[in-house]
Structure 1
Amino acid sequence: MANLEHVNVTVSDPKATAAWLGAVFDWKIRWEGDAMSGGHTAHVGDDSSYVALYTPNRVINDPQHSYTTRAGLNHVGVTVDDIDAVETRVKAAGFTPHNHGDYEPGRRFYFDDHDGVEWEVVSYN
């Protein structure tokens, strides 16, 4: 059996992104420090998986639309036990939930963060 350990996403401010990820998903910073080419990285998640948040040591250009960019990151999916509580925390973090859906076997919604990364929140409860 294989398990996904982490994904690595380039963001404008790893510390700020790690803070709202912690507030929304109750994740912790597992590691933070210098990264390749003079950049900075924060690993935020739980004991089994995490999101690596990287920023280079240079200005980041505006991203292209991920669904039309080859090898673009379309969204990151996170499963939760209490989707309503998480949606409340998403709103408190300043993001706007959209594309709600009830489907077999669960419920979902999406939101876009300040870097244009789309997050899907799913509950199978």
Structure 2
Amino acid sequence: MTTHLEHANFTVTNPEATAKWLCDVFGWHIRWQGGAIDDGYAIHVGSDDSYVAVYAPPVAPQKATRSRYRTIGGMNHLGVVVDDLDATEARVKAAGFTPINHADYEPGRRFYFVDGDGIEFEVVSYA
């Protein structure tokens, strides 16, 4: 049996701004955008076979107040595989984010960053 992850869905402050930096940093494109659950708005941004849905309700969402690593059901981070880790890190910095926790161990090199909504991303290269 072959399976793959199709998408992840996150609540963000501003779907348009988040979609823009996701496209700029990872080279993704907007697959769909429009009205979503509870009168909110969502944008699906990614590749042709997988994506991240970024969603905002009609009233400003609230930020989590507890550590994601200590909250059952909380998302710890989203991992993204890239071909060129150094070039992606440069785009992460250009987008205004600070790369942290650089590591080089089998099976690949990686770093992390946290976006403006507190979502942590792991960027890894197996090249």
| 1:75-86 matched pairs, under 5 angstroms | 75-86=77-88
Q: Scaled by the length of structure 1, what TM-score is found?
A: 0.98
* Structure 1: gaps (5+ residues): none
Residue aligning to 1:74:
76
Q: In structure 2, list runs of 5 or more residues that go unmatched.
A: none
Once the two structures are TM-superposed, the CA of residue 61 in structure 1 deviates from its matched residue by 1.4
Q: How does 1:1-125 map to 2 (within 5 A)?
A: 1-63=2-64, 64-125=66-127
- Which AA in structure 2 matches 1:49? S
Deviation at 1:60, TM superposition (A): 1.3
Runs of 4+ off more than 6 Å: none
Q: TM-score, normalised by structure 2?
A: 0.96
Give identity over the alignment, percent.
Answer: 59
Number of aligned residue pairs: 125
Distance 2:9 2:63 in 1: 18
In the TM superposition, what whole-angstrom CA distance separates every residue of 1:12-40 from its partner, at most 9, and x where no partner exists? 11110000000000000000000111100
Q: Distance in 2 between matches of 1:52 and 1:5?
A: 10
RMSD across aligned C-alpha pairs, in angstroms? 0.7
Cα deviation, residue 68, structure 1:
1.1
